[in-house]
Amino acid sequence: MYSKIVMDHFQNPRNVGKIKDADGIGKAGTGNCGDMIEMAIKVEDEKIKDIKFLTFGCVAAIAVSSMVTEMAKGQPVGEAKKITNDSVAETLGGLPENKLHCSNMGADALQIAIKDYEEKKTGKTREN
Ligand code: FES
């Protein structure tokens, strides 16, 4: 049912946890199943220096979160902005049709974290 890559990221998730003094935080969830992802980024010289996630969710949601952190870590912010739900699912070797909604939270949480970072940088504040 799941690809080997998905199972690997589920069994050995990368970059789990929180970041103290994170520069941006993004939360995303799916209304239906109640699962949710919190993604935190630390930015230095406009690059994602560190990224961590906490996910309350299914196998796919955890694998997606882990993969997003691997794809974004070390990338310039501009490149990380190009990570989409589709590119994450593709890098994971695909997801079963009924699990595609799980992949929709991963990149969303990252993009919200980047937006949060950019808004803080420009002095705006956001309620979440
Ligand atoms: Fe809810 Fe996968 S079943 S995120």
Give the CATH number for residue 41.
Answer: 3.90.1010.10
What is this structure's pTM? 0.92
Task: Answer yes or no: is 127 within a domain.
Answer: no
Active site residue 33: yes
Task: Answer yes or no: is 17 within a domain.
Answer: yes
Report the number of distinct structural domains present in the chain.
1
Q: What atom in ligand 1 is closest to the CA of residue 105?
A: 4
Task: Answer yes or no: is 44 within a domain.
Answer: yes
Task: Answer yes or no: is 128 within a domain.
Answer: no
Q: Which of 1, 11, 17, 33 is catalytic?
A: 33
What span, in angstroms and rounded, lies between the C-alpha atoms of 45 and 36? 29
Structural domain boundaries, residue 8:
4-121
Q: For residue 89, is it left (φ>0), alpha (ψ between -120 and 50) or beta?
A: alpha
Print the SS3 string covering 10-67: HHCCCCECCCCCCCEEEEEECCCCCCEEEEEEEEECCEEEEEEEEEECCHHHHHHHHH
Task: Answer yes or no: is 14 within a domain.
Answer: yes
Task: Answer yes or no: is 126 within a domain.
Answer: no
CA-proximal residue: ligand 1, atom 3 (nearest): 58
Residue 60 CB–ligand 1 contact under 6 Å: yes
Task: Answer yes or no: is 115 within a domain.
Answer: yes
Residues of the chain falling short of pLDDT 50: none
| pLDDT tens, position by position, 103-119 | 888 999 999 999 999 99
Active site residue 58: no
| pLDDT tens, position by position, 4-16 | 999 999 999 999 9
The Cβ of residue 43 has, within 10 Å, a number of other Cβ atoms equal to 22
Q: Which two tokens stand for residue 39?
A: 């993604």
pLDDT of residue 100: 78
Residue 61 CB–ligand 1 contact under 6 Å: yes
CA-proximal residue: ligand 1, atom 4 (nearest): 102
